[in-house]
Structure 1
Amino acid sequence: MQPLSQKEGTLFRQIIKYYESKQYKKGLKAAEQILRKVPNHGDTQAMKALILNSQGHQEEAFALAKVALKNDMKSHVCWHVYGLLYRSVKNYEEAVKAYKFALKLEPEQQNILRDLAILQVQMRDYDGYIESRQKMMQARSSLRQNWTALAVAYHLAGNYKQAENILETYEKTLKQPPPKTDLEHSEAVLYKNTIIAESGDIERALEHLNTIARANLDRTAVLELKAKYLLQLDRKAEAEAVYRILLDRNNEYRAYYDGLEASLGLDRSDEGSKEKLVEIYQSYAEKSERTDAPRRIPLDFLKGEEFKSAADKYLRRMLNKGVPSTFANIKALYAEAEKKAVIEELVLGYASGKQANGSAEANGEPSDRFEEAVKYFLAQHYSYHLSRDLEKALQYIDQLIEKNPKSVDYNQAKARIWKHYGNTQKASETINHARELDEKDRYINTKCAKYQLRNNENETALKTMSKFTRNETVGGPLGDLHDMQCLWYLIEDGEAYLRGRDYGHALKRFTAVSDIFEVWHDDQFDFHSFSIRKGQIRAYIDMVRWEDHLRDHPFFTRAALSAIKIYLQLADHPELGNPNNNLDLDKMDAAERKKAQKKMKKEQEKREKEEAERKAAAAKKANAKGDDGEIKKEDTDPKGIKLLETKEPLEVALKFLNPLLEFSPKSIEGQNLAFEVHLRRKKYVLALKALNAAAAIDPENPKLHEQVIRFRLTIDGLKETDPKVSEVLNASFKLGPASTDLKKFNTDWQQKHSQSPSHVQSALNVRHILDNSSKAQNETDLKKLLELPTITTEQAVAGLDLLDEWQSEAGVKDSYRQAASEKWPEVTVFQSK
């Protein structure tokens, strides 16, 4: 490598500072200045590549980095930069290789070691992480954070003994005890205590905790751990004393009450413990008039007249105050039918004004606030799924709105009732009226947008959300919602587009959700070094463990399931990949074909014009920056057309399916979809694995029955084309009948589940698969299912989807929809289109 002069050497060091402070233009200018004098200087070329990559010029950066390596293969800077470039594109394996090569050239380089360590813990390569942290600690043993990081590495790897030894060794090197105000030391010793406890030695963990308790700054954590350890060691009297101290500090935290009950050896199911339990909670209730928990918790375990008396007292107290959340606070009790009946009897008594049932009076007159609170409670009570009577709910809420028409709460409750009716149109209109009553309320604004999305009003919902977004950002309000990672909106928006069969927009939203989870996963990078540096170790360990289960979040599951369904549609109907060219021209006569082709040409020209306008607008906004100073790119595919045009929809579906199966293996719908994907991919062993997993979750699942039959047909079809595969699958496939008549098997299954609409629908679909000539009878039987008293609106909608799947005539669908509408006149989806 050609050496730099003193002037260029100073300039090179300045480039590094410019890069670290994100002054990229100055950095490029300095790099060009050096390269004019030393054109083949590898380190400068590498730093220029790093800056170009930060500016979004990825291809140019990689090309320049390769040139830099060619000019100086023995430069650790070039290899380090090469690793950083690979890390930026999430090719972690190649990044690790580059870092390790750089370390061979410069073994003591701390920056490279640090970057390698961060990447290793990000990839959960704990053995490699231990090795890297060991080297860093040995190089700079005076820094506490290096010792702590090594202990963390051993801890995450499951080596509790060595993790504890590392922390203890460092403590022995201290010449004098750290001051009491040293937050890092306070956190480190508490972290050491949790390691001892996790190793299973609770007795020693308690002893250690007692030695550090007085000087530790996190008093609450010390007390919580002490109570927990004492309870685990069955030292209940001591545990009781600590839990009482904790309750004096926070008398609304239920976990403390649970701990107190356990320390007193009280069992809620034991009648002998009831009196003592009541006495405890009464004593805490008397300490403060404002405390809720000790008044509410006894309702969970009291029975009979005791429950009625306590519930009466609690309800009167809350309703007298007019607390809007009263119903939300006690609806968990409705899981027990007896308690639900008692609560209904009490509140109806309040509504009728019977003194015997506890109606409130103020100065001899019934309280208006109490009366309104009672009616509001009853409206929510009759709207709730375990006590539903929507007509009564509507009567009560209408009475309240008549008295107070400008109440946001009352109008929102009415919108919820319409939602439960299934009338998404009225629900949307009502909640929008509630929003207009208080346009500064963000909560009701977001609720309104959600209801509008449920009514498939995508544009209106976005306009509603725009009232609380930064609309001047790139992409407008939708771009801001992406930046804010507003998952609920993206999922609801995607599901609304999916119902309207706008697969492009729907895929766009579900992919955005997946990308946000990927961002959250990548966000760990900064905390691997930040948390160690700041000494927040326990929170860091919690974060790492949380990240390990990131994708078992219900939001990811919802998005993944919906995205997979779309990709299955694309696999079955490739013409959907071009939403502007999905007409079946072969079935048209010459005149219709000519007309359709003319229309398609116009649509193509319109699309090209829109694309040109979008590119022009993107060029204007090329330098638009967000709050973080980074350039925000205009979305070049807002309608998701490119996502639809994928040539391998089943392979792309795996991006959603694999994490879904890994983190939510108990999702029956996930296993059902796994079967569908793998069957189409002709990965029969994986399809069988999904079937067996589904059977382990719910052997009577309706979809599973259908898939078992289809898999049997698939195996039988392989006998001629691939007899060996068929033989292997037959030997492993135990769910479906091998020799039994499939039609009889299906009929028997249908009779077994004759009162379950979902199961009968599945049986009818199997009958359709086995015998296409039975279509008319299937349609008739499907319509008869609407007469079952147990059928729900969701199951009726599933029947409508089946008719679509069977490609039934429009008249058949209209007849089905009309019959459903007669049974559920308010349900929007069954109303005439």
Structure 2
Amino acid sequence: MPQILSPKDASLFRQVIKHYDAKQYKKGIKTAEQILRKNPQHGDTLAMKALILNAQGKNDEAFPLAKEALRNDMKSHVCWHVYGLLWRAEKNFEEAIKAYKFALRLEPESPQIQRDLALLQMQMRDFQGYATSRRAMLQARPQIRSNWTAMAIAHHLAGEYTEAEKVLTTYEETLKSPPSKTDVEHSEAVLYKNTIIAESGDLERALKHLESISKTNLDKTAVMEMRADYLLRLDRKSEAEKAYRELLDRNADYRPYYDGLEKALGLDKNKDKQALKELYDEYAKNNPRGDAPKRVPLDFLEGDDFRDAATQYLHYKLSKGVPSCFVNIKSLYTDDFKKNTIQDIVEGFANGKGVRETNGSVEDKSEEDANAFKSAVLYFLAQHYNYYLSRDLQKATSYIDQAIELSPKSVDFHMTKARIWKHYGNTQKASETMEQARTLDVKDRYINTKAAKYQLRNDENEAALKNMSKFTRNETVGGPLGDLIDMQCMWYLLEDGESYLRQQKFGLALKRFKTIHDIFDVWQEDQFDFHSFSLRKGEIRAYVDMLRWEDTVRSHPFYSRAALSAIKAYTLLHDHPKLVNGPLLDGVDGDDAEADNADAAERKKAQKKAKKEQQRLEAEKEAAKKQQQQQKSTAGADGETKKEDPDPQGTTLVQTKEPLKDAEKFLNHLLEFSPKIIRAQTAGFEVYIRLGKYLLALKCLIAASKLDSQDPVLHEQIIRFRKTLDSLSEPLPPQVSSVIDAELPTLLPKDTDLAKFNEQFLARHAQSAAHMQAALQARRVLNPDAKADIEKSLSDTLALPNITLEQAQEGLATLKSWAADKTKREAYVQAAAKRWPEASAFQSA
């Protein structure tokens, strides 16, 4: 039963609420305890004390106290509201919504509970529930515009366009006087209404509405863009042409405007090349400093027209010394003619051939300008021959060395030389050269990050962090790494994690991948604040765009890379539990590695090195712990105390008892948001086949087959799947077996001879190293006794003319995973070193 407080205690309770709102938590606790001394079972006070404890980070104390408050007063809306707030803090939004709804039944008129419930419903994308909550809030306070807008958003996102438009129109009709011309919120709201009409498919009415508001709307650019788009989609091409020309008058370098103008004029890049050329010549003449009207024609011109236009464009850019010139035109290299033509033009510049200006005279240059032009040409050619579609690393090295000789302090030139070393496969020289480039401009953040990235690619983790520390707040808890995590510097965390994975330091690798996973969680949670903020500020279109972006945020390449690497680490830990204790001496196959013929001295040396590394990590951990203890009481710039990381080395992550279950946490998001990435599907198979979830494994195989039926990894997995099913000790349940029998033949006919199927695949792809490696993997699964022949065949792939450095490195990794003896590994390395003498991977066995 609820307790009734005395007037004095009721006044104290109101003070508790004020202290909580003002974040005066110590005073709030003290005041609450003063009430509880007289009223120990007062539910509302217990609930408020729990809420304050939760704000102080004492969740373990807060939840029991909140439950006690509910037991003492089950009919208190305050207790239920607080209980919901605690669940919200725990990110358990389903339970929080249940608590809010119960609180709302007890106090239907509470605007705070109603608002908190609505925000959570939007967070969970419960649009129908959000509409219901917003309708109640609108009825309670119809004079507030944001309530009307929120109601419209609820209907819009639920696909109810007519209702959404009706809500906004009704509000406009309630206005007694027209809004001010400078009313940004009204301007945004009417544009949002226009997007709703357009999304409903009624473009004609959307255009009429847009024209009615165009003169008074403050976002002129958006109005003009929307009008041009509507006219084009309505096939009113003459008006659309005029609209796009007006846009180009405002911004002649925005390529989408040119695309729209081409469609409005009915010009086809394959058929109307001359008309298009005249169009772009007109804009180039009117905008002599613009890039787009000169660059776009290179996409569709051919033959002599292309050569003339490319010569003019390249000469202009190189004369100006534009560093991004190559980046701007490399997309043309998919066309061999254009690639070769560009090569001829720029090599002509390098050999002293000038270009004639429009007046017919050859451009004269001062000695300084001539040297600058020559440097730009050499720089371009170095990038040209370093690019994968025109790669000749010897020529690239020659050209960049000449450029550096002319400009020895150019950061860009040294960076390109580092990239050339990277493509040689020499990570050590690439790292050293990029570090040299960094020293030429120590105040530049970009070259600093590039140097750190190359150091991580060379597994120099400490040196990379030291470089990054030059631009971080090193006094924060956790030092430079802690600040990089706070700043959500994902490229660094990803490269650092992949480096540790290569070194088989799984704890630190998983720590980095888990941090990236958590950052995406933070991005998901951060939108919560915008559900109310955007409505207050009236930024509706941007808010809707953000919601739609959030729905696919985990499709970002950073997440997919981290997830795939984490899954690889967890599957290795599942297959080879000894990896928990650190890197194995040879490869990852622990049992075979111990039986290897490595001499005792080498083994002892490796063990000593591992022990020393462990001691270093322990010392770092202890030092970090002391530093965190010293800074534990120090509040950050936002006034919040930074929490100490209880597991900086990732020890808990690597010692997991269920690595595949942990892998599923990454895999579920990967398959949901990146199903078109074939490596996501093949990674899913690897997890599910180990878990014995054969239907899910088959589902991944079918999805991968639809993406690329000839994928080498898929081929090996299909054979392994069939082999696994054939060797099961117990039959599958009838329901599972019937589904597999129905679906597997789409990948592999039921009576297929696996060995013959594999050899046919091998014959079809005899010139592809990746496919041969996969087929040999499958052959090893089918016939483990043919180990020697398979290893020899793997070495023979090095003779393939099209094999890449990456594929050769993958072959070496495969040999190690098979625990091939040292002699065969050395022979493979020696053969590979002849083709890639600079590659770091083939410097030693």
Confirm or deny a common fold (TM above 0.5).
yes
Match of 1:762 in 2: 774
Number of positions where the alignment pairs a residue of Structure 1 with one of Structure 2: 830
Question: Relative to 1, partners in 2 of residues 1:519 and 1:49: Cα closer, same or farther, differing over 3 Å?
Answer: same
Distance 1:240 1:615 in 2: 66
Distance 1:625 1:193 in 2: 47
Match of 2:786 in 1: 774
Equivalent residues of 1:80, 1:112 under 8 A apart: yes
- Answer yes or no: is 1:645 the counterpart of 2:646: no
Letter in 1 for 2:221: T
3-state SS in 2 of match to 1:102: helix
Equivalent residues of 1:393, 1:417 under 8 A apart: yes
Distance 2:8 2:414 in 1: 73
Deviation, 1:604, is: 9.2
- Answer yes or no: is 1:784 the counterpart of 2:796: yes
Deviation, 1:433, is: 0.5
Deviation, 1:615, is: 5.0
Equivalent residues of 2:504, 2:582 under 8 A apart: no
Task: Report which stretch shifted further, 148-157 or 273-282.
Answer: 273-282
Match of 1:803 in 2: 815
Question: Relative to 1, partners in 2 of residues 1:365 and 1:422: Cα closer, same or farther, differing over 3 Å?
Answer: closer
Match of 1:489 in 2: 492
Distance 1:662 1:505 in 2: 27
Deviation, 1:248, is: 1.4
Distance 2:32 2:581 in 1: 47
Match of 2:50 in 1: 49
Task: Output aligned runs, 1:173-322, within 5 Å.
Answer: 173-270=174-271, 273-322=272-321
Equivalent residues of 1:580, 1:604 under 8 A apart: no
Unaligned 5+ segments in structure 1 are none
Deviation, 1:36, is: 2.9
Question: Relative to 1, partners in 2 of residues 1:255 and 1:454: Cα closer, same or farther, differing over 3 Å?
Answer: same
Equivalent residues of 2:375, 2:407 under 8 A apart: no
Equivalent residues of 1:118, 1:525 under 8 A apart: yes
Distance 1:470 1:513 in 2: 20
1:447 paired residue among 445, 450, 454: 450
Task: Report which stretch shifted further, 286-295 or 302-311.
Answer: 286-295
- Answer yes or no: is 1:732 the counterpart of 2:765: no
Letter in 1 for 2:319: N
Equivalent residues of 1:779, 1:803 under 8 A apart: yes
Unaligned 5+ segments in structure 2 are none
- Answer yes or no: is 1:676 the counterpart of 2:686: yes
Distance 1:662 1:377 in 2: 42
Match of 2:540 in 1: 537
Equivalent residues of 1:578, 1:641 under 8 A apart: no
3-state SS in 2 of match to 1:733: helix
Question: Relative to 1, partners in 2 of residues 1:615 and 1:597: Cα closer, same or farther, differing over 3 Å?
Answer: same
Distance 1:350 1:537 in 2: 53
Task: Output aligned runs, 1:400-799, within 5 Å.
Answer: 400-579=403-582, 617-718=627-728, 720-722=730-732, 724=734, 725-726=736-737, 728-734=739-745, 735-799=747-811
Deviation, 1:172, is: 0.8
Deviation, 1:40, is: 2.3
Task: Report which stretch shifted further, 399-408 or 352-361.
Answer: 352-361
Distance 1:530 1:718 in 2: 57
Equivalent residues of 1:531, 1:540 under 8 A apart: yes
3-state SS in 1 of match to 2:728: helix
Equivalent residues of 2:434, 2:451 under 8 A apart: yes
Distance 2:48 2:737 in 1: 58
Question: Relative to 1, partners in 2 of residues 1:350 and 1:614: Cα closer, same or farther, differing over 3 Å?
Answer: closer
Distance 2:252 2:611 in 1: 71
Equivalent residues of 1:715, 1:726 under 8 A apart: no
Deviation, 1:93, is: 1.1
3-state SS in 2 of match to 1:361: coil
Letter in 1 for 2:472: T
Match of 1:324 in 2: 323
Distance 1:609 1:704 in 2: 44
Question: Relative to 1, partners in 2 of residues 1:365 and 1:561: Cα closer, same or farther, differing over 3 Å?
Answer: closer
Deviation, 1:357, is: 8.0
- Answer yes or no: is 1:91 the counterpart of 2:92: yes
Equivalent residues of 2:426, 2:838 under 8 A apart: yes
3-state SS in 2 of match to 1:297: helix
Distance 2:171 2:702 in 1: 52
Equivalent residues of 1:750, 1:760 under 8 A apart: yes
Deviation, 1:406, is: 1.1
Letter in 2 for 1:467: K
Question: Relative to 1, partners in 2 of residues 1:124 and 1:809: Cα closer, same or farther, differing over 3 Å?
Answer: same
Deviation, 1:621, is: 3.0
Equivalent residues of 2:151, 2:164 under 8 A apart: yes
What's the TM-score, normalizing by structure 2?
0.94
Distance 2:546 2:20 in 1: 29
What's the TM-score, normalizing by structure 1?
0.95
Question: Relative to 1, partners in 2 of residues 1:585 and 1:305: Cα closer, same or farther, differing over 3 Å?
Answer: closer
Question: Relative to 1, partners in 2 of residues 1:481 and 1:312: Cα closer, same or farther, differing over 3 Å?
Answer: same
Distance 1:681 1:430 in 2: 46
Distance 2:436 2:518 in 1: 35
Deviations 1:23-68 (A, max 9, x none): 3223223322332333222212211111111111111010111111
Equivalent residues of 1:716, 1:726 under 8 A apart: no
Question: Relative to 1, partners in 2 of residues 1:182 and 1:365: Cα closer, same or farther, differing over 3 Å?
Answer: closer
Distance 1:586 1:333 in 2: 49
Distance 1:758 1:419 in 2: 21
Task: Report which stretch shifted further, 7-16 or 184-193.
Answer: 7-16
Task: Report which stretch shifted further, 608-617 or 150-159.
Answer: 608-617
Distance 2:246 2:340 in 1: 38
Question: Relative to 1, partners in 2 of residues 1:365 and 1:12: Cα closer, same or farther, differing over 3 Å?
Answer: closer
Sequence identity, in percent? 61
Task: Report which stretch shifted further, 150-159 or 768-777.
Answer: 768-777
Question: Relative to 1, partners in 2 of residues 1:242 and 1:581: Cα closer, same or farther, differing over 3 Å?
Answer: closer
Match of 2:110 in 1: 109
Distance 1:225 1:469 in 2: 43
Letter in 2 for 1:769: V
Question: Relative to 1, partners in 2 of residues 1:55 and 1:613: Cα closer, same or farther, differing over 3 Å?
Answer: same
Distance 1:585 1:4 in 2: 75
Distance 1:498 1:603 in 2: 16
Equivalent residues of 2:355, 2:363 under 8 A apart: no
Deviations 1:213-247 (A, max 9, x none): 11111111110100000111111111111111111
- Answer yes or no: is 1:80 the counterpart of 2:81: yes
3-state SS in 1 of match to 2:727: helix
Distance 2:620 2:656 in 1: 21
Task: Report which stretch shifted further, 719-728 or 83-92.
Answer: 719-728
Equivalent residues of 1:360, 1:370 under 8 A apart: no
Deviations 1:761-813 (A, max 9, x none): 11111111111111111111111110111100111111111112211112211
RMSD of aligned C-alpha atoms?
2.6
Deviations 1:436-468 (A, max 9, x none): 011000010001101111111111100010000
Deviations 1:326-360 (A, max 9, x none): 11111111111111111111111111112468885
Question: Relative to 1, partners in 2 of residues 1:316 and 1:585: Cα closer, same or farther, differing over 3 Å?
Answer: closer
Structure ranking higher on relative contact order (CA contacts 8 Å, 6+ apart):
2
Distance 2:584 2:310 in 1: 64
Task: Report which stretch shifted further, 453-462 or 580-589.
Answer: 580-589
3-state SS in 2 of match to 1:626: coil
Task: Report which stretch shifted further, 198-207 or 592-601.
Answer: 592-601
Task: Report which stretch shifted further, 533-542 or 17-26.
Answer: 17-26
